[in-house]
Structure 1
């Protein structure tokens, strides 16, 4: 790893931010409709998502402003410049720990998807190892090949989800969203916090910025990608509430699968639409694992000044894989997910904003 920043002419156009951010942000939790959000806001969870979209979009805009101050540096390179070396190093270590926990959660979710949807009789360690080996091969190639791979995958994720969003409209019952704001605005705002916590991924901008031409012109692409992911989450949440109802949604293990199985489209030759969700789900899990494993490996080598070694990549990958395999049951996983959702807001959103404010105050980086 320790990937060399390419020459300006070899960098990616900011349009490539769209597949990068969509396939980074969309993962398991978007399809399970963040139970914490629905538990907090109940039938008003759709409104929580819209409020979260406004807040998140503004913060993504600030991310571009931050990267524009350090266009040839990744986030870990300028954190010590802005915060000072000791505190910057501790913040970097905090991100590494967060990524290990996050990767462990998603690896476990890949096991869950495989067990329930694909190969239920296969020992869980086998698909886990196959996933890990293919990911090691992919991320070892560098960030630009990963992004090119995401560009190829994007239609297979986006098109089925758009079709599902249209199909959902035939089965949603409006009365399940009434009364609006029954418990006031506070539960809705609490739900918005959980929405932001469920949308990990925008921080990838801060690490990928040096690989793009004129990153300061990436505002439109970044906001487009972020709000497309919000739309997917919003449409799935509306369908879950409008078809299952709040109580059934909270009791369901995989609400997304349950909702798809209940969708009816009279006269259509296909009766079950499960593939429209399971294929994007698998792609989303794999792509999110790929980008975060890349960040974990490359940032570890950079932070501790290590030379890239294949055996080190295997060891780093083995840490979240082992944690995922040793998680006792789904209850432990849901608790881990809840903790990640809560801490994601300060780590993913607030820390970069504070870094931007501090960089402006201390006049660090470019000012034009």
Structure 2
């Protein structure tokens, strides 16, 4: 395998870390309350057919970029409009993720550091990383994933004495409307955001089994997040559904004697790693979108300007942390069209058009090896 190719294991690890992302620090505020653990199971089950749709889009024209597949599936005029919409979604989500993690670091650790300084530091590292191509990011993801799994196992074991099984009761006593809202929230954040990872397959090299890779990445991330959800509910109880950074606050109660305290500081660093991977993937997919819209063959020169745009958006989108949390309330409405409706439409229209299209010879641009 070429040293610049991305293996299936690296891609799975990166997808899992992306899904963990901001959810590991902001997994509270779910209207399903003590039934959140059930809502998450339902959301993951719903994600399986949606993942089949995602892989179907990539299989329409194998070996091509996600955005090129959209353009060919929908026709150029409509396809361009759809790509612009997806680019808008990626930039919005990228700005929000960067702001969420910057606020998290500012509030819990770096209270005297200007918010823009924290954001700029994350962006600078992301620019350096992506300038060395996507395969570098995926190799880091493969290394970081076991560290985060060790973290969640450690915190579950250390918080065992603070857990109370009665916090799971009463089971399924949430209002149907609240439970449904909880399922939608769990689906859109983070599992439906898998659509953001699709452009990575355009530079992945030798990954042919797209659906299994996506599903394995989902379940790797699900194992981590589900353990965190159960831990938070069992330790925090009702407060878990109202806390802003429930995972961090849950870990903060861990104390082993008088010397082994403040373990949440170490955990916060590990959570930041997942959030950084998520932001880097969003930046990469945004660069790929800009490159395809404006006819660039390589997205690498766009890494710095697009990342600076995300930095600007993170500063302009919200005035304070209250607005960041407020956006989470309306996020499912914003995200569902991009995560479900548009992918289904693209696959249906693309399948029909492909059936009646005459086969054509690939262009020199399509035959060239994707950059990564």
* Alpha-carbon contact 2:251-2:263 (below 8 Å) kept: yes
Aligned-partner Cα distance in 1 for 2:25–2:245: 8
Q: Does 1:225 align with 2:191?
A: no
Q: Decide whether the 8 Å contact of 2:95 with 2:314 is kept in 1.
A: yes
For 1:101, the equivalent position in structure 2 comes to 92
Mark the CA change 1:286 to 1:18 in structure 2 (over 3 Å): closer, same or farther: same
> CA distance change for structure 1 residues 19 and 144 in 2, over 3 Å: closer, same or farther?
same
2:16 aligned residue (22, 33, 47): 22
Comparing 142-151 and 336-345, the one that deviates more = 336-345
Aligned equivalent of 1:239: 231
> Once the 2 structures are TM-superposed, how far is the Cα of residue 89 of structure 1 from its aligned partner?
0.8
Q: Which residue of structure 2 aligns with residue 173 of structure 1?
A: 164
Instruction: Please show how residues 175-324 of structure 1 align to structure 2 within 5 Å.
Output: 175-183=166-174, 185-199=176-190, 200-212=192-204, 215-246=207-238, 248-263=239-254, 270-275=260-265, 277-306=267-296, 313-324=303-314
Report the TM-score when normalising by structure 1.
0.86
Residue number among 312, 326, 337 corresponding to 1:346 in the alignment: 337
Unaligned runs of 5+ residues in structure 2 are 360-372
Provide the C-alpha distance between the structure 1 equivalents of 2:264 and 2:324, rounded to a whole number of angstroms: 24
The answer as to whether partners of 1:57 and 1:226 remain within 8 angstroms in 2 is no
Counterpart for residue 363 of structure 2: none
| Matched residues, number | 356
- Contact in 2 for aligned 1:24/1:284 (Cα 8 Å): yes
Range with bigger deviation, 70-79 or 313-322: 313-322
Q: RMSD of the alignment, in Å?
A: 2.9
CA distance, structure 2, for counterparts of residue 310 and residue 11 of structure 1: 16
- After superposition, the Cα gap between the structure-2 partners of 1:167 and 1:222, relative to the gap in structure 1 and judged at 3 Å, is farther
Say yes or no: does 1:50 pair with 2:30: no
2:23 counterpart SS class: helix
Gaps of 5+ in 1: 1-6
Alpha-carbon distance between aligned partners in 2 of 1:62 and 1:307, rounded to the nearest angstrom = 27
Give the Cα separation in 1 of the matches to 2:227 and 2:47: 17
State the TM-score, normalizing by the size of structure 2: 0.85
1:346 and 1:163 mapped to 2: Cα distance? 38
